[in-house]
Amino acid sequence: MITLLNYTLAFAAILMLVALGGCVSEHSGVINLGLEGIMVIGALGGALVMKLMPTVGGFGLFFLVLLAAVFFGMIYSTLLAFACINLKADQTIVGTALNMLGTALATVFVKSMNLKESAGNNTSSVIKYENKKAFFTNIGNFELNWFMIVALVMLIVVFVLLYKTKFGLRLRACGEHPQAAASVGISVFKMRWAGVLLSGLLGGLGGITYITTGVSEWKFEEGVFGFGFLSLAVMIFGAWDPIRIGGAAILFGFFRAIGRVYPGIAFLRNLNIPPAVYNMLPYIVCLIVLAFTSKKSRAPKAEGIPYDKGMR
């Protein structure tokens, strides 16, 4: 049961961070379907730090990895911001393209790096990082990933930012009534850029959290196995509210964890259910939940609609 708790909280932290990123972006009026690609690029940044700085350990390594994931995620999210805000491109198409490009870009980069280091003998897209143990501490039998703490902190920060600050009020106004916001002097373009960049920050954190929950290497051509899309479901189920998103992340994280640890739970093992069913559980739950809640969910009114000064 401790293992189930470990994985539940680890997966919940990933889903929470990425869903919060989508939440901030959509409150600004931009749909970020590119979270999957942002996660991959953020994970690449953190993994490169772990690989290239093997002698750094402790909090120093954790801090550098966190900064790299944030930086890579934010830089990659500028593609979405420029295309959708400045060029007024279709947000769904751009987000989908970023998902495809992110995995492909990371794969090509890592393969090129491995080829160069091995003089043409290594063509894999795997980055190994033996020093990821610096991100964990044991509390009895429970293994605490420091990124779990980061996820909790970011949940509080996003809640305060959205509902307790002038910035958050302006951001939400741009996602609800951008023309009304502009009429009182708020720069819709700047606020939407801020929303997308913050989603890149959180998506990058989610990406590095994802790969550090596994083994000491990651094959980048595998991407992040749909966690970006699952995070969008968490965001919708959480009704674009940070606190509800936190609860939804724990629920979805629990079902995702079952798929990882069911062989060690006698009750589940004795049911003789095919392993694929357990791995499908979070996605099945996702479909069921969205089927019953999507009609009642209320997204920001202006999300997905390019801002036009001439519209009223």
Report d(CA 109, CA 227) in Å as an integer.
Answer: 22
| pLDDT for 54 | 75
Residues 83 and 93 sit within 8 Å (Cβ to Cβ): no
Q: 218 has which bridge partners?
A: 127
The tens digit of pLDDT for each residue in 6-48 reads 889 999 999 999 999 999 999 999 999 999 999 999 999 999 9
The tens digit of pLDDT for each residue in 74-112 reads 999 999 999 999 999 999 999 999 999 999 999 999 999
Residues 207 and 73 sit within 8 Å (Cβ to Cβ): yes
- Cα torsion 211, 217, 219, 223 to 10°: value is 0
Give pTM, 2 decimals. 0.94
Residue 1's pLDDT band (cuts 50, 70, 90): low
The tens digit of pLDDT for each residue in 186-209 reads 999 999 999 999 999 999 999 999
Closest residue by Cα to residue 21 from 176, 150, 145, 107: 150
Report d(CA 144, CA 133) in Å as an integer.
Answer: 11
Residue 127 clears pLDDT 70, i.e. is over it: yes
Residues 76 and 109 sit within 8 Å (Cβ to Cβ): no
The tens digit of pLDDT for each residue in 242-281 reads 999 999 999 999 988 888 777 666 666 677 777 778 778 8
| pLDDT for 249 | 95
Q: 219 has which bridge partners?
A: 126
